[in-house]
A = this chain, B = another copy of it.
Amino acid sequence: MRLSRHFLPVLKESPSDAQIVSHKLMLRAGLVRQTAAGIYAWLPLGQRVLQKIAQIVREEQDRAGAIELLMPTLQSADLWRESGRYDAYGPEMLRITDRHDREMLYGPTNEEMITAIFRDSARSYRDLPRTLYHIQWKFRDEVRPRFGVMRGREFLMKDAYSFDIDEAGARHSYNRMFVAYLNTFARMGLRAIPMQADTGPIGGDLSHEFIVLAPTGESEVFYHSNWEKPAELSSVDFDDVAGLQSIVSTYTADYAATDEKRDEAAEAAAGDALRQSRGVEVGHIFYFGEKYSKPMNLRVQGPDGAEVIPHMGSYGIGVSRLMGAIIEASHDDNGIIWPDAVAPYKVGIINMRVDDEACTAAADDLYAKLQAAGVETLYDDRDERGGAKFATMDLIGIPWQIVIGPKGLAKGVVELKRRATGEKEELSIEDALAKVSA
């Protein structure tokens, strides 16, 4: 994409109302604009990153055997009366009345709807196990929205729901999501630590939060220093019950807890290895058995012909919130440092002198070659000073930057810069092309 034709409104100054670094940088880099309290429009750069985050989430859900569908944003109040949550849910639920005076709501979560959908068609144990998920906008009417997309009101969430014949099956479905989550966050360059958690309004007896360490996080967290090793992808057969349990056991062996769940004995055992920080919740998984299936009358025929009430779990990832969490975890004074996997563009080309024929010809040619190679490229072809172009590329965090100027071209070289390390090298255009296309 040529920047001269793009819509990328960056800000020179930090907006005064933004308190945390991710919120400041998302506004400055032109990722989002607030359109109402806690409601954001995703500008083109933000939209690209959001889609990349969602796509990684989707691929790891699919790999774990979950099936994608898409439920609507608005739900009928009657559905929530079946579970008893319509009256129980507080003022965070946005209640709506339509033109026929029917009571509706903007879904904050979908346990009731997915249970009703599954109930419509599941007949026997052969229809189990299933895990269904969707990636859809949710609304929670926060009393005080803040921190940008980290605590917004309209937000994009991946929520999955599992249906199993019994508790053992449900535990395996839970483990599938546990491992899928570790892989999802690792692919985004994040070390997310699973911590035992309270179940809150979802209910149930087994629950983990996945928390990314960040000094500005909303929760205080305590963990063993073993968690400081970088995240790794688990290559696993998701149908292997014992193998999956063993990964989960390994990952829950090292102490990690939020403030509400601290364990004095475990902390004493950790000794000098105990660490304290703040963190941002990016995922939350729950096993809650028959909490929704029972009152909503979801039943299937078991192998022996008797009726069985399926056991359920639910599994959320804050897709839009993740963008904030990634920025909190990966930035410097100059701006965002996108991990390659979620960067809006992999390569940025800076043409230092658009009025210089040789520079522009070389930059146009490189841009065409990168396009042809399928490398996502942002080409700064604007008539601006070099300094402003450097600042923009760093602010918006493009991982590889290729600078084309008249002095270098005279020597037959361009400058290739790696945003994450600041490392620069001079090399021929062909070598730069080969390096960033790899």
Chain A contact residue count (CB 8 A cutoff): 57
B residues in contact with A74, CB < 8 Å: 36, 39, 106, 139, 153-154
- A104 near B67 (CB under 8 angstroms)? no
* CB-CB under 8 A for A7 and B69, given A96-B96, A113-B35, A113-B41: yes
How far apart are the CA atoms of A106 and B99 in the complex, in Å? 13
A9 interface neighbour in B41, B50, B120, B126, Cβ under 8 Å? B120
Considering the complex, give the chain B residue whose CB is closest to the CB of A48: B68
- B7 near A41 (CB under 8 angstroms)? no
- A47 near B76 (CB under 8 angstroms)? no
B residues in contact with A116, CB < 8 Å: 35
- B33 near A117 (CB under 8 angstroms)? yes
Say if the beta carbon of A42 comes within 8 Å of chain B: yes
- A69 near B94 (CB under 8 angstroms)? no
B residues in contact with A104, CB < 8 Å: 36
Say if the beta carbon of A409 comes within 8 Å of chain B: no
Considering the complex, give the chain B residue whose CB is closest to the CB of A6: B67
How far apart are the CA atoms of A106 and B91 in the complex, in Å? 19
How far apart are the CA atoms of A42 and B147 in the complex, in Å? 32
B residues in contact with A68, CB < 8 Å: 44, 47-48
- A67 near B41 (CB under 8 angstroms)? no
Say if the beta carbon of A282 comes within 8 Å of chain B: no
How far apart are the CA atoms of A37 and B139 in the complex, in Å? 20
- B102 near A37 (CB under 8 angstroms)? yes
B residues in contact with A139, CB < 8 Å: 74
How far apart are the CA atoms of A141 and B102 in the complex, in Å? 11
- B132 near A35 (CB under 8 angstroms)? no
- A41 near B71 (CB under 8 angstroms)? yes
| A201 nearest CB across to chain B (Å) | 16
- A137 near B44 (CB under 8 angstroms)? no
Residue of A30, A47, A69, A106 ringed by the most chain B CB atoms within 10 A: A69
Residue of A30, A43, A76, A132 ringed by the most chain B CB atoms within 10 A: A43
Say if the beta carbon of A229 comes within 8 Å of chain B: no
How far apart are the CA atoms of A43 and B113 in the complex, in Å? 12
Say if the beta carbon of A65 comes within 8 Å of chain B: yes
A154 interface neighbour in B46, B67, B69, B72, Cβ under 8 Å? B72
- A70 near B99 (CB under 8 angstroms)? no
Within 8 A of B (CB), among A262-298: none
| A81 nearest CB across to chain B (Å) | 13
B residues in contact with A40, CB < 8 Å: 72
- B94 near A98 (CB under 8 angstroms)? yes
How far apart are the CA atoms of A134 and B116 in the complex, in Å? 31
7 sampled A-B residue pairs with Cβ under 8 A: A7-B130, A9-B121, A33-B120, A35-B75, A47-B134, A72-B154, A74-B154
Ranked 10 nearest A-B pairs via Cβ? A9-B121, A42-B70, A36-B76, A47-B70, A41-B71, A91-B99, A99-B141, A39-B72, A72-B154, A44-B69
